[in-house]
Amino acid sequence: MNATILLLPGDGIGPEVVAGAAGVLRAVETRFGHAFELPEAIIGAAALRQGLPPLPDVTLAAARSADAILLGAVGDPAFDRGPSSGRPEAALLGIRKALGLYANLRPARVWPSLETAGPLKPEVLAGTDMLVVRELTGGLYYGEPRGIEPDGSSAHNTMRYSRQEIDRIARHAFDAARLRRRRVTSVDKANVLETSRLWRTVVTEVGAEYPEVTLDHMLVDSCAMRIALAPSSFDVIVTENMFGDILSDEAGAVVGSLGLLPSASLGAGTGLFEPVHGSAPDIAGKDLANPIGAIASAAMLLRHALKLETEARAVEAAIERVLVSGLKTADLAGGGPAVGTKHMAASIAAAVGTS
């Protein structure tokens, strides 16, 4: 297969983890006889530093015409002041919206040999394998009106959801659950918010079309607690944008490290694949970052954007084998011996080539 995969390394640890994942894609190309073009474009603070907007037009045009996008991270404390539109994060929100990527899939599972890497007892974590389906182009992140009074006396954001936005993300979650353990937990705050009451109504209606999938509803505070107390009780979680942002970080911490978590953002346009972890400026450029979130995102890219399921599984199996062999990056090692970003990524690329 010939495919163009646009690399958007971005900020902080983004360039290091994307380089690692690109190496793994090259190994897939060689082993399975594909031809991948891997052009790069700038986004986030990397663009702001060149006097460009955080999402330059050329970057968006390249994104639209690619077969898939692999993004590292955006965010830089140097640009933490000023209006929302001038921050690196605006690029991520902009590209998600421009490409219509409303469905964000964030799988979190316990990897073999990492049962004790996180804060939970291994017997509590055992069997954890959940998929957070986060609505990605609506809710508080995009609702209008929004703003801050010029005198700084107050600020406001708007949470708004249409029936259609809830319906389409619910279908995504039920479709995913059909291929898994056939259980959907819809998470909301229906005891307080009108948007959540509409959410619950529409998800229930959609659920009626999926009789083979069990649906339950959970309040977001309760869900946060259950992820910590009984993570293995979840299969698919479907929730609105901000709740999904928060719960997916928690899911990452529970399975050992946020550095492990991949994501896929799907919808109308080119699919975008990125690790959940963010730019982590404190460890950037030090070869300390865990590249597994980015590499597992590349596996999701192969699966969802290029429909290369065998190749996706080969990458996931390679990650597994390298972890089982005992290699750990600093975030997983708990103070024990650790390898750097490059070493971890190269080991996984080598394992793809030899499996």
Q: Is 188 a catalytic site residue?
A: no
Residue 245 in the binding site for ligand IPM (CB under 6 A): yes
Residue showing tokens 């928060």? 246
- Using CB atoms within 10 A of its CB, is residue 284 exposed (0-12), middle (13-18) or buried (19+)? middle
Contact 85, 120 (CB under 8 A): no
Q: Is 92 a residue that touches ligand IPM (CB under 6 A)?
A: yes
Both structure tokens of 247: 């719960």
- For 299-318, b where at least 16 C-beta lie within 10 A, e where not — what string? bbbbbbbbebeebbebbbeb
Kindly state the number of chain residues that form the binding site for ligand IPM, as judged by CB under 6 A: 6
First to last CA, the chain: 20
Q: Tell me: does residue 10 bind ligand IPM (CB under 6 A).
A: no
Residues 282-341 that bind ligand IPM (CB under 6 A): none
249 included as an active-site residue: yes
CA 44 to chain CA centroid, Å, is 17
Q: Is 161 a catalytic residue?
A: no
Nearest residue to Mg ion, scored by beta-carbon proximity: 245
16 contact, one of Mg ion, ligand IPM, none, CB 5-8 Å limit per kind: none
Nearest in space to 277 (alpha carbons), one of 300, 256, 308: 256
Q: Are strands 103-109 and 264-266 parallel, antiparallel or unpaired?
A: antiparallel
Which is nearest to 113 in space by CA: 276, 295, 299, 327? Answer: 327
Point out which span in 20-28, 239-247, 258-266, 287-295 binds Mg ion (CB under 5 A).
239-247
Active site residue 328: no
Active-site residue identified among 11, 76, 141, 235 = 141
Q: Smallest distance, Å, CB 306 to Mg ion?
A: 25
| Contact partner at residue 56 from ligand IPM, Mg ion, none, CB < 5 to 8 Å by partner kind | none
Task: Point out the catalytic residue in the list 11, 188, 235, 249.
Answer: 249
Distance CA 296, CA 107 (A): 10
The least CB distance from residue 313 to ligand IPM, in Å, is 25
The residue among 89 and 188 lying less far from ligand IPM, judged by its C-beta, is 89
Q: Choose the one of Mg ion, ligand IPM, none that binds residue 48, judging by a C-beta under 5 to 8 angstroms depending on kind.
A: none
Q: Is 89 in the site for ligand IPM (CB under 6 A)?
A: yes
Out of 15, 75, 207, 271, point to the residue binding ligand IPM (CB under 6 A).
75
Which residue lies nearer to ligand IPM by CB, 135 or 311? 135
**How many Å is the maximal CA-CA distance in the chain?**
62
- Under rule CB under 5 A, residue 245 binds Mg ion: yes
Residue 236, classed as helix, strand or coil, is: strand
Pairing outcome for strands 147-148 and 264-266? unpaired
Cα–Cα dist 355/346, whole Å:
14
Tokens read off for 237: 């979680």
The closest residue (CB) to ligand IPM is 89
* Minimum CB distance to ligand IPM, residue 106 (Å): 8
Output 258 or 323, the one with its CB closest to Mg ion.
258
**Which residues of the chain form contacts with Mg ion (CB under 5 A)?**
245
Which residues are annotated as catalytic?
141, 189, 221, 245, 249
**Which residues of the chain form contacts with ligand IPM (CB under 6 A)?**
75, 89, 92, 245, 276, 278
